[in-house]
Structure 1
Amino acid sequence: MTDPFPGAGILRLSGSVPSHGSGDFLYAGKRSSIFGSKGQVRRFRVAAEKGSNEDVEAFAAQVAAILGDKRSWIGNGNVRLQMVSGSEKADFTVYLATRDTAGQLCLRGGTNIRVGGVPYTSCRATGKAVINLDRWRLSAKPYLDAKVDLAIYRRYVINHEVGHELGHHHEGCPKAGGPAPVMVQQTLTLRGCKPYAWPRRNDRNFAGPAL
């Protein structure tokens, strides 16, 4: 199977990133197997904004690879996940949106993602994990400062926003210099930890103190 992620050593992608698109979305058409062995099945769709210059099927391949990994949320035995096509009923949708559209979707869901006046972070709104195209292509300062690959940041941001949809909240760093739990707001700060992309570590759930 071809690795769908940016290669090793790539910290961010070159080229301009559209700040806004059409506001409409294209949905991936593939259906995955059920990821995980135990727990309630939660079904999700994957969509990319028209005008984002992103291939929705390529985005979906990365989302499925992340959420189907045993280091992700399925590994705890409490939930199973399945990607379905855009025409099927789903519990939530993972959206890849330009920063302006992400800002609007998030604000409608009750979250202001602006930093310095610009829609910067990603967010979760009810039934939506909204991934900001700027972050998907350009990563975030804590990861860039640590020289951590864009592919790892992408794993983090999908796990973090889907984690919110699954009922998890923001956490702190449990040990300075150690790995950051995935529910730390790593896009903004590592809180003294080091970048880490998964909710599980060494085959165990990995979390920090509640904030």
Structure 2
Amino acid sequence: MAHQYILFYKPYNVLSQFSEGNTPPASATEPRLTLKDFVPVSDVYPVGRLDRDSEGLMLLTNHGRVQHRLSDPRFAHPRTYWVQVEQVPSVAALTQLQKGITIKGYRTLPCQVKRLRAEPTLPPRDPPIRFRQSIPTVWLEMTLQEGKNRQVRRMTAAVGHPTLRLVRIAIAHLQLGTLSPGQWRVATTDERQKLLQI
């Protein structure tokens, strides 16, 4: 069987799996959306996860070695996120994030964090984030080498800046690029070759 590599822009409120599993539906008339509602390709599986309330790039593949090497923290492949947070983080808060935060007894690895000069160009989220006129928001770019459960949200909350919107824009050399929420594409020849070198 040929290996497949699919880049997908997971929208907000979509589960990072192909079936609902044990996840209760949003309501009796509104079942949870899953990857199968967007990607009509069989026998591919997500590399890692994005929370239901997070958006952005996912890689789907049937290549076990690539999946393992991108998922296992020992191989330290970067994942980059645009993160909208409440309030304006101080230099000290950004430094804390960069050096690592202790969350539930676990200390996160050092990561790259910078404040974006301008709000990134992203499609509107449906539903939009809550907006409070008295509380400013700022966008950060965070690049992590690990992916613990809800890690980015827990890190920003730990320094007093709750995450309002979270969009993964890159996994290793793979970029979200011009994909829109719900769209997918097959990896290019160059992207595939680099995945095989991981």
For the aligned pair, the TM-score class normalised by the smaller chain equals under 0.3
Instruction: Give the TM-score normalised by structure 1.
Output: 0.24
* More strand as a share of residues: 2
* More helix as a share of residues: 1
* Structure (1 or 2) with the larger CA radius of gyration: 2
**Greater relative contact order (Cα < 8 A, sep 6+):** 2
